[in-house]
Amino acid sequence: MKDAPPRDTAAISGLIDADIHPRNPQRHDLAPHASAYWAEMFEYRSIDRLEMMSQPQSIGLNQHAEGAQANATPQDIARLHLDPQGISAGILNVMSGAHAAYDPYLAAALCEATNRWLAADWLGQDSRLHAAALVPFVNPDAAVQEINRLAPDRRFVSVLTPLMGEKPLGRREYWPIYRAMTEHGFALAIHPGSIYRHAPTQSGFLSYRVEEAALAPQAFASQLASLVAEGVFTEFPDLRVVLLDSGLSWLPALMWRMTKDWKGIRLEVPWIKEAPSDIITRHVRMGTQAADLPQDADQIARVLGQFDAANMLIHASDFPRPHATGAGVPDWLPQPLHAAVARDTARATFVRLEGLE
Amino acid sequence: MTQELLAKAKGATDDRARTMIVDCDIHPAYTSQAEMLSYLPLRWRQHVQEFGLFSANPLMGALPYPRMNHGMRRDSYPAAGGPPASDLAFLQEQLLDAHGIEYGILQPLSPGHLMSNTALGVALCAGTNDWQIDKWTGPEPRLKGSLSVMQEDAQASVTEIQARANDRRFVQVAISPRTLEPAGRQRYWPIYEAAAHYDLPVAMHSAAFGSRANTGSGWASFYIEEHFAFSHAAQTALVSMIFEGVFDAFPHLKVVLVEGGFAWFPAMVWRLDREWERHRREVPHLKRRPSEYIRDHVWLTTQPVEEPPLSSQLDDILRWVGMDRLLFSTDYPHWDFDHPDYAFRLPLSPGDRALLLRENAVKLFRLDGASVERRGA
Amino acid sequence: MTDHVVCALSELPPGKAKRVMIGTRAIAVFNVDGKLSAIADRCPHEGASLSQGQVGGVIVSDRPGEYRVRTDMKMVRCPWHGWEFDMDTGKSWCDPARMKTRSFGVKICPGATLEEGSYSLEVFSVSLQDEYVVVTV
């Protein structure tokens, strides 16, 4: 924002970045980590380019100034991002076509191979790097198996899902996934992107990417409403949800409306025993990039005062997108929130990040 | 509310005797299906009796998300019988007289908007318009109608608008925000052209029925989810109209988003400008920033007024939205009715109160008899 | 504190509610299975008349998908937004500390006893044979 005061991030140690995107893995990356069957099928069926239509890496809109080289290897990310920003822990979020497979077994194979590739080629190369696990939401049994397999490897700190999937995230079909996650301390990360099982809006598919980006908050709001209404947080009180690249100023409107409605229609969902705004405050965290805010610092402070910003915001750069946050925490962030946003809230949320300096 | 705030709010309401009210969201109801059918030509009456009101919805004649208390104010059932808001005399007594409502804008929610058979939808909308005159706006001049059109057939919509636009008992054109395609698409432009030509705002009222899933991940399970998602249909319509260039094509078009609340609006506008900066080469046809189109073209009704924990937060929201684009509405006789004296849980200056409760609507709908501004399209 | 005779018990049979005026004060009186209660009639949220609300069971749940209706109490649901109020205490279910309406003492008195005490008769004459609803304000 234009009128914000200059940053002073030098004082913050232990900066954590909750949203870094490595390149998407392709067939040659995944085949060594897949079964003989899937390794052959990846080749035989051209399962290679795993790029989501809604979250492409190859288009100019999303490319770093250094192009595909910005996030091709751990060394690239270290050189362009971790080192200059003094990041002590970064979480890799793979927004690849693995999320979009229809075949439940292919989905499981792609997710597992991607996680193995992350462990071998990324996490092993730079101790600052951590990752979100990919699990097949279209195959909850396999998702649970994959979470249990990864549980001993604490470099995997979260489970990642695209914003718009097959069903609202609160549905009971997904509860075995959340049960396994909470048993092992994984947070749930939700990142924009749709696998287009459904139109992104109540009036169908949109003409432009800008429209889909502008309307992403309604999908985030619906997912939070689903998680609250279905009772996911009632059933899994330890689950934490991190919204990435979500914007943040839309959240209070959802909290206020859902709380007002709840007072009269809680009979529909009597397992919700406290105000939805309190449930959301306790369980939901938001990345700082990108924020939709007014121009001047006083107005920004008023927006941040509408929710528990000190405990709900997490630094998340969205590197290597061109709109990624520059140095350290964003410049609109008031100084008193810096330490919480840069480090403390992330540590409390990604509980598998223990043992950091 | 704190005692202090209560005292202030009480002080503010002392002005209410002097503030007349325009209610921009009243839902008149057919007394029975027979009454609705009586406004259809014989051909369509027989069609409905034989084939029903066929639409892309899971249930016949019932809400897909069952509501508490039937979705109604429990005290709104007329003593004479019939569903809430089906009896003019009781509506006059319980709503117009009781609250000092100078004008009430009907939002009849015609079933015509959602018919899969568009020709039936056109006939139903025409019937809804005749019925508004016969039963409501004719006998009671405080009530003003919405010119309901079946938005999926733009040419038929234009015909309907042209036929009735000079009848000042209609003050706006009503379409569903849950259009089959995003509302900015060119297939809907003839409606906007005609509405702008006659200086009739286009109202999009939250719709309980639509053919597309109510979230991008499929259908929500509960009414508590669905209710907030009504605002999402309005957001979609607004965003689509901006980026498809509707407001460049029709610089005099006015849009009213009805019954979605308004606390979501400032964040949406900030986001629109930011995303437009990032994507502007994708939409080079846009001549202005999204917020500039919104400033000139968009109004919102207030119900259901959000209730943040602090009144200052509501005050911020009102100011960010803009006191000049908010239109008070009760949503009578629906369960989430807003009372003009108590819905805004903050002290309002007499000037702001007058804008919200009356002046903005009088100006937008030309309720003071201001002359029709005919526009070349 | 004054006792006010607000209506004959026959006007408030079990399952019914009634809005009565004591001076300028509107009070909702409920008869739930023979047990009377009285609270201020005006909903503290947006002013609806609580006597018009549905009296229903208090729904509770231990887990998602499980529903229980408490047998030990009922609440009135505001006729507009459905907010629930305890008719004995006036407290709302959702925000009992802050969102509440005033409660009043209420009792049934035989007509024969009413001549002895100091009662304020609001609207009618008393018959010795009937029972009456008395609200203490």
B75 and C52 within 8 Å at the Cβ level: the answer is yes
Contacts of B342 in chain C (CB under 8 A): 45-47
Provide CB contacts within 8 A for A354, sequence distance 6+: A154
Chains near A, with 3+ CB pairs < 8 A? B, C
- Set of chain C residues whose Cβ sits within 8 Å of the Cβ of A229: none
Is B276 within 8 Å of A222 when comparing Cβ atoms?
no
Chain C hits for B95, CB-CB cut-off 8 Å, are none
pLDDT surpasses 90 at C117 = no
Query: To the nearest whole angstrom, how far is the Cα of A315 from the nearest Cα of chain C?
Result: 33
DSSP designation for B214: S
Write the DSSP string, C21-85.
EETTEEEEEEEETTEEEEEESB-TTT--BGGGSEEEEEEE-SSTT--EEEEEEEEEEPTTT--EE
* CB-CB neighbors (< 8 A) of C77 in chain B: 68-69
Q: Which residues of C touch B339 (CB under 8 A)?
A: 46-47
Strand, helix or coil for residue B250 = coil
* Closest residue in C to B67 (Cα–Cα): C82
Least confident of B111-120, B167-176, C36-45, C108-117: C108-117
pLDDT at C128 over 90: no
β-strand partners of C25? C22
B125 vs B131: CA distance, rounded Å = 10
Nearest residue to A191 via CA among A71, A54, A69, A90: A54
Q: For residue B259, give every residue at least 6 positions away whose Cβ sits within 8 Å of its Cβ, in sequence order, or none.
A: B25, B107, B205, B206, B230, B301, B303, B304, B329, B331
Helix A104-118 × helix A36-44 angle, to 10°: 100
Domains recognised in chain B with CATH numbers = 3-364 (3.20.20.140)
Q: What is the enclosing helix (H) or strand (E) of B159?
A: helix B154-164
Nearest residue of chain A to residue B242 (CA atoms): A211
Which pLDDT belongs to residue C7? 92
Per the structure, the complete domain to which residue C63 belongs is given by 3-136
Query: Using the beta-carbon criterion (under 8 Å), do A271 and C95 form an inter-chain contact?
Result: no
Residue B81: C-alpha distances to residues B84, B90, C49, C56 (Å): 9, 10, 20, 24
Q: What pLDDT sits at residue B353?
A: 96
Which pLDDT value is given to residue A11?
56
Contact B68 C48 (CB under 8 A): no
Tell me the chain C residues in contact with residue B343 when contact means C-beta distances shorter than 8 Å: 46
d(CA A157, CA A118): 13
Residue A1, pLDDT above cutoff 60: no
Q: In what order do the strands lie in the sheet with B101-106?
A: B21-26, B101-106, B143-148, B170-175, B202-205, B255-258, B298-301, B326-327
Contact C82 A271 (CB under 8 A): no
Q: Which residues of C touch A (CB under 8 A)?
A: 59-67, 77-78, 81-83, 92-95, 99
**For A250, phi and psi rounded to 5 degrees?**
-75, -20
Is the Cβ pair A292, B274 closer than 8 Å?
yes
- Tell me what pLDDT residue C48 has: 98
Of A264, A269, A270, the CB nearest to C83: A264
Q: What pLDDT score was predicted for residue A140?
A: 98
- What number of CA atoms fall less than 13 Å from residue C106's CA on the CB side? 29
Within 8 A of C46 by CB-CB distance, chain B residues are 337-339, 342-343
Option in B1, B337, B341 nearest C80 (CB): B337
The answer to whether the beta carbons of residues B321 and B295 sit under 8 Å apart is no
* B219 neighbourhood in chain A, CB within 8 Å: 168
Name beta bridge partners: A152.
none
CA distance C6 to B368: 48
Contact residues on chain B for A229, CB-CB shorter than 8 A: 220-222, 224-225
Residue A294's pLDDT is: 96
DSSP state of A25: P
Q: Cα separations (Å) of B346 from B276, B321, C42? A: 34, 16, 19
Give chain B's end-to-end CA distance (angstroms, integer). Answer: 49
State the pLDDT confidence band at A327, using cuts at 50, 70 and 90: confident
pLDDT at B15: 46
CA of residue A145 relative to chain centroid, distance: 21
Partner-chain contact A210 B278, CB within 8 Å: yes
Nearest CA distance, B244 vs chain A (angstrom): 8
Of residues B68, B243, B270, nearest to A265 (C-beta)? B68
Which residues from A are below 8 Å from B290, CB to CB?
214
**pLDDT tens profile A100-119:** 999 999 999 999 999 999 99
- Residues in A touching B180 (Cβ below 8 Å): 203-204
- From chain B, the residues in CB contact with A168 under 8 A are 215, 217-221, 225
Residue A117 CA to residue B178 CA, distance in Å, equals 43
Determine whether the interchain pair B221/A209 forms a contact, defined as Cβ–Cβ distance below 8 Å. Answer: no
Q: Closest partner residue to B282 among A205, A208, A299, by Cβ? A: A208
The pLDDT of residue A10 is above 60: no
Output the pLDDT for position C114: 81
| Chain C neighbors of B74, CB-CB under 8 A | 52-54, 79-80
| pLDDT, tens digit (0-9, with 9 covering 90-100), for A233-284 | 999 999 999 999 999 999 999 999 999 999 999 999 999 999 999 999 999 9
Instruction: Give the chain C residue whose CA is nearest to the CA of A230.
Output: C64
Q: Answer yes or no: do C77 and B337 touch at CB < 8 A.
A: no
Question: For residue A9, is pLDDT > 70?
Answer: no
| Sequential DSSP letters for B324-349 | GGEE----TTBTT---TTTSS-S---
Q: Chain A 142-181, CB below 8 Å of chain C: which residues? A: 172
CA distance C46 to chain A (A): 12
Closest residue to C64, CB basis, from A230, A260, A264: A230
The Cα A259–Cα A228 span in angstroms is 11
pLDDT of residue B11: 44
Helix B223-243, helix B290-297: angle, nearest 10: 100
Q: What is the pLDDT of residue A78?
A: 97
Chains with 3 or more CB pairs under 8 A to chain C: A, B
Q: Is C64's CB within 8 Å of A267's CB?
A: no
Looking at residue C127, its pLDDT comes to 80
Provide the domain count of chain C.
1
Query: Is the preceding omega at residue A290 within 30 degrees of 0, hence cis?
Result: yes
A222 vs B217: CB contact, 8 Å cut-off? yes
Give residue B18's pLDDT: 55
In sequence order, what are the beta bridge partners of B205?
Answer: B258
Residue C18 sits in a domain of what CATH number?
2.102.10.10
The mean pLDDT value for A288-304 works out to: 95
Task: Locate B250 and state its tokens.
Answer: 């029709």
Reported as a pLDDT band with limits 50, 70 and 90, residue A356 is: low
Contacts (Cβ under 8 Å, ≥6 apart) of A163:
A190, A191, A192, A193, A194, A216, A219, A220, A223, B216, B217
Cβ-based interface (< 8 Å): residues of B facing C:
1, 68-69, 73-75, 335-339, 341-343
Closest Cα of chain C to B216: distance in Å? 24
pLDDT tens, B241-265? 999 999 999 999 999 999 999 999 9
B225/A247 CB distance under 8 A: no
Residue among A41, A167, A175 at smallest CA distance from A108: A41
Provide the percentage of residues in chain A whose pLDDT is more than 70: 96
The closest CB to that of B236, out of A169, A201, A250, belongs to: A201
Q: A314, A285 in Cβ contact below 8 A?
A: yes
CB of A265 less than 8 A from some CB of C: yes
Using a CB-CB cut-off of 8 Å, the residues of chain C touching A271 are 61-66
Which one of A197, A254, A264 has the shortest CB-CB distance to B228? A254
pLDDT-derived band at A354, boundaries 50, 70, 90? confident
- What are C's interface residues with B at a Cβ cutoff of 8 A? 45-49, 52-54, 77, 79-82, 98
Distance, in Å, from the CA atom of B240 to the CA atom of B252, rounded to the nearest integer, reads: 17
Q: State residue C52's pLDDT score.
A: 98
Q: Give the integer Cα–Cα distance in Å for A138 and A123.
A: 26
- pLDDT lower than 70: segments of chain B: 1-18, 372-377
Q: Which domains does chain A have, with CATH numbers?
A: 15-352 (3.20.20.140)
Please provide the average confidence, as pLDDT, over all residues in chain A.
95
Query: What's the one-letter identity of residue C2?
Result: T
Rounded to an integer, what distance in angstroms lies between the CA atom of residue B82 and that of residue B342?
28
For residue C31, list its beta bridge partners.
C36
Name the residue among C67, C72, C75, C71 with its Cα closest to residue C96: C75
